[in-house]
Structure 1
Amino acid sequence: METVFDIKSILDHLPHRYPFLLVDRVVEFEKSKRIVALKNVTINEPFFQGHFPNMPIMPGVLIVEAMGQAGGVLVTQSLPPEKQGNLILFMGFDKVRFRKPVVPGDQLILELDMLNLRTRAVKMAGVAKVDGNVVAEAQLLAAYGD
């Protein structure tokens, strides 16, 4: 997959840092419309120590968080330049569904489509996939501004 935003660019667009940065690369980007990002899931992730020691599964809330972080890059790159430094905060999640577990060794593909971009809020539809299979989906609502 071709890299559109590498990890350095992602760090420029998101306030998250290790161990909470959950996006490794952006492979597709269409301003104000769509983003596709990926997260390489490894056994070294700190949450696998307790979730679960004998059967490591990525927590569903972190899959949704990864979707939100990818969406954060989409939003920051879609705002006018004077608003691009604003913090983006989640307001809610709707229609969240988890379909299959995500385990170490998986490459999580995060696909988000912008449904509505308003003056201070955004709504996106997200799907997370592993090997082409949907593992999670959600609608995300976020606010941004001063």
Structure 2
Amino acid sequence: MDIHQILKHLPHRYPFLLVDRVLEVEPGKNIVALKNVTINEPFFPGHFPHHPVMPGVLILEALAQAAAILSFKTMGTLPDDNSVYYFAGIDGARFKRPVSAGDQLHLCVEIVAQKRGIWKFKAEARVDGQIVTEADLTCAVRQLESNPS
């Protein structure tokens, strides 16, 4: 999937869209996506000016966005204005090494379970084949309440 297809499967936009390309997706199973980390990222000037490091929570967010694409592909639907995809839990998060400008994150996410709009995933982010972040993610797709006029 290129960026145009990704934009159809995620509601996120700059500066919070953290998936650049999808290399593989097998609905109901797994996804491998890419995030190219550049020195132009909006978080680098403040994290940290003397040693730019991608915040770990944003690596987890990138994994969750890849998980969202996998979920929508599995459901055979696209996000709409009446639903939202929430983070519901993060377990066992581990940060093995810093991610810096010039790194390419391989976002590897596998579905562990899905029931009633709750999705559980095993997720890993890799740079040059080495795990930099891993976690078990729980996400939920929820319908928004309509706003009475």
TM-score normalised by structure 2 residue count: 0.91
Q: Whole-Å Cα distance in 2 between the matches of residues 58 and 41 of structure 1?
A: 8
Computing the radius of gyration over CA atoms, which structure comes out larger, 1 or 2?
A: 2
Q: Whole-Å Cα distance in 2 between the matches of residues 69 and 117 of structure 1?
A: 16
Q: Does 1:74 align with 2:60?
A: no
Deviation at 1:80? 4.6
Q: Whole-Å Cα distance in 1 between the matches of residues 13 and 79 of structure 2?
A: 18
The AA in structure 1 aligned to 2:99 is V
Residue of structure 1 equivalent to 2:48: 52
> Which aligned pairs between 1:89-108 and structure 2 lie closer than 5 A?
89-108=86-105
Q: Whole-Å Cα distance in 1 between the matches of residues 103 and 76 of structure 2?
A: 35
Q: Secondary structure at the match of 1:35?
A: strand
Identify the match of residue 43 of structure 1 among 29, 39, 44.
39
Structure 2: 5+ residue stretches without partners: 144-149
Q: Whole-Å Cα distance in 1 between the matches of residues 9 and 115 of structure 2?
A: 20
Q: Does 1:143 align with 2:140?
A: yes
Q: Does the CA-based 8 Å contact 2:11-2:79 persist in structure 1?
A: no
Q: State how many pairs are aligned.
A: 141
Structure 1 vs Structure 2 CA RMSD = 1.2
The AA in structure 2 aligned to 1:89 is Y
Q: Whole-Å Cα distance in 2 between the matches of residues 42 and 84 of structure 1?
A: 28
Identify the match of residue 110 of structure 1 among 107, 110, 116.
107
In the TM superposition, what whole-angstrom CA distance separates every residue of 1:73-121 from its partner, at most 9, and x where no partner exists?
Answer: 000111154x854321111100100000000000000000000011220
Q: Whole-Å Cα distance in 1 between the matches of residues 76 and 101 of structure 2?
A: 38
Q: Secondary structure at the match of 2:8?
A: helix
Q: Whole-Å Cα distance in 2 between the matches of residues 42 and 35 of structure 1?
A: 22
